[in-house]
Structure 1
Amino acid sequence: MKKKWLAVLLAGTMTMTLGACGSSSGSSSSDSSSDSSAASSSANKDAIRFVNTKIEIDSALKDFAKQYEEETGQEVVIESLGGGVDVNGQLKNYYAAGNMPDIFAFGPDSYKSSFSDWLEPLDGEDWIEDTDYAFKGDDGKVYGMPFSLEGIGLAYNKDILDKAGIDPSTLTNIDAYKAAFEKIDGMKDELGLTSVCAVAAESGQMYWSTGNHLLAAYYSQGVDRDDKTYIDMVNNEGKIDEDRMGQFADWLQLLFDYSDQNVLISGTYDDQLALWATGKAAFITQGNWIDPSLPTYDATFACGLAPSAFTKEDTDGLIVDTPSLWGIYNKSDKIDACKEFLKALAESEEGQKALVENCGMVSPFKSCTLKPSTPLAQSMLPYIESGKTYAWDWVTQPDNMAMNATGPVFELYAKGQLDKEGFVSTMASSIADYVASSK
């Protein structure tokens, strides 16, 4: 079903003329300090202006945009916002200045709070039938095109597990993990390990990991993608399922007990990653987004992602979803041109190659046969292909709840200042208070 991108475009241009859209910057490689006005003035007035929020794919996107212009005559100007930028705030600034990009990236969590009135419906686009991850608004219409998939779980060092005689495919419930952790812990000296797990729970720097990615398991692990029971309890009532949260607390305690305590209590993300990437821990509580960092540590060991299987019942899937979407500004005068550009990225051979091979991402499109080259991304594919995935429901929890409410509770639990019951009750009250104050 893969088509050459020019052929894909020709089908659309029979009924419409390619226009242009815009991004928030200019033709120069940009970062958080990019000046949109200066960039806009340097671009052709018919150019598509496109805000990309993943700085690491800036070069690959610009290469594709250049190819696209050579083939179609349609200029696409990419602005890539750098790490640490308040993306929502930047887009709001563009809106206030009357300088909105024509295509921009947004997260599912920011749709309701920021962008629901700005996005053009995309219903009818061919790529929608080619993915399970198109973003729909409350009205059931599609407003966002996915471009990559990311997975959350426990990344494991397969070389270590092999030496310990542990098959990662058996790690589908908490009892299996307990047995594996105990066995590896008893072989730490032999395996050259500092700890079994690399976990960091200091809330000032790691709230995004604990209050988002770890809590993702409570919301979604083992839950059908369309079942929003636990996230709806939080969003609509400010409540949690205390029994399920208690099971989650047991899981956390297991991870904490087998972690390097210095990294757990006061470590940064870099400390956590270094512990695992240098072969000093068998597991790390992160996802496939750490793939690009592995060469920094000369990490050549085989590795993969295993489920955050915190219950006694088997849950053999990964939490996989698209972390952000590409949408079109509904007041753009180049909407048709924007749709054609997104279509080329999604459906053409060149577009799929740009996203998977050049950007290093996992494609959300079923027709794409290209495979990522990085190890954790590769390990996600069997789960995706077999439909064993759970949704990123955490992305729709109240804005900044991880930073201001749940992150600190993880830290108190990691420090032993809360027991299991205290963790559950404090999590319940923190969430209830935060949701109430957010309304």
Structure 2
Amino acid sequence: MSLITRLQRLLLQLGISSGTGQMMLIAALLSLLAFGAFRLDGLNVSAKSAQFTGSLVRPASLGVPWQTVHEFEPEDLKPLTRSFAEDGAPVPPKVAAKPRTLSDSGESLFLQSSRLLQQGHYAQALKVAEDMAYRYPNFQLGNLLLADLTATMAPRPSDIDMVWKNPESQRRLSELQIEAQRRTRHAGKEALAGKQPEPLRYLSSKINHVVLVDAHKSRLYVLARQTDALPDAVPLVIFDAYVSVGNSGTGKWREGDGKTPVGVYFVQKHLTDPMLPDLYGSGALTLDYPSPIDKWQKRTGSGIWLHGSASSQYARAPTSTDGCVVLANDDMTRLVQLGIPPETPVIIAEQLNWHTVTALASGDQTKSLVTPVKRSSQPPWPQPADLRDGGEAWHMVSAFQWKDQQQTVAVVSYDPPASSASKHRLHTYWIMQGDQWQQVNRPSAP
């Protein structure tokens, strides 16, 4: 494969498909590679301090978070060498042999390279970036970081500003900038320890997982109970991942509006990749959109899933789907491996608020695991009279409460009593009317 063909494929991965835009960028990249190869093969970095000002992305204008003004460490001043095969393909970097682990995701390598760069360890950052690009060749943001690291060693071409006049290039680079910010600035698991999301009002020990999506931060979280924890123990965030949502944002209202719905939904099925087109990647968890609340609000549409990415790209831009929540395939695989069964709650919010947990007395099913927010005047959720089996009450297992179009709404789920012939969990939906709860759906025990 020729070098020109490889560059064309790289530009297609970056979303640049027009012939004019490709030719302009190819010319710029060839000049960068010519200078960069010479600089990387034998030139020692001898400046006392250095500023990372990549030629493909200009930090001053785009604000990409991997710029640095740190001094290079002594081990970073050694000459760097890169090898290419006869067809122009880069030879994979030699890295210490070690078992592949789940922590070696594209994002983890991206963050590791970014941290090393911010600490001034340029050579180490480049090695990690090369490893990332080799393992995940369709990771567009990772390719951009590697290109910037390489281009930093080359003089700035005089015609590079012509590239920025291409609207397609500007759009794609802007998307990658936002993706970089979302991946590097989200709250990690440690920062959320001891906190619970605002919509969660009650969770029994029978619910092992809750999936949460924060569209504003392009982040998915999984809350889980620890296997050796007490029944009243607070669930912890055990997993988080970058996600993409609708190309028109959130607040789905109509079929085809390109928006991701906001609310509480429940997993229906797990579909594996042999059953799915390439668009859905490594698998999918289907959701029950539209819910009774959505139908009451006269929303339309269907087929809102959590799913993986097409093989042509590692991950999508933050707002680029038709309404689904999309993960990288390795993250989707990890999510499924956690054991997310049907009926698992999925909270999708424009922006999640987290609160410090308040401990409650065991067995109290009318209060919240989270410190209540202005709920003192609101009555507890009533148990529907028709959810009884031979005089035995059904058992509340979860309750979620949130705002929908300025109305307070809730979904409360129940398990049947042990003596019941039914084994199905039932979900009841409520809307606050004045100071009373009004039930939207009227489920009956099967």
TM over 0.5: no
Larger radius of gyration: 2
> RCO (CA 8 Å, sep 6+): is it higher in 1 or 2?
1
Normalized per residue, the structure richer in helix is 1
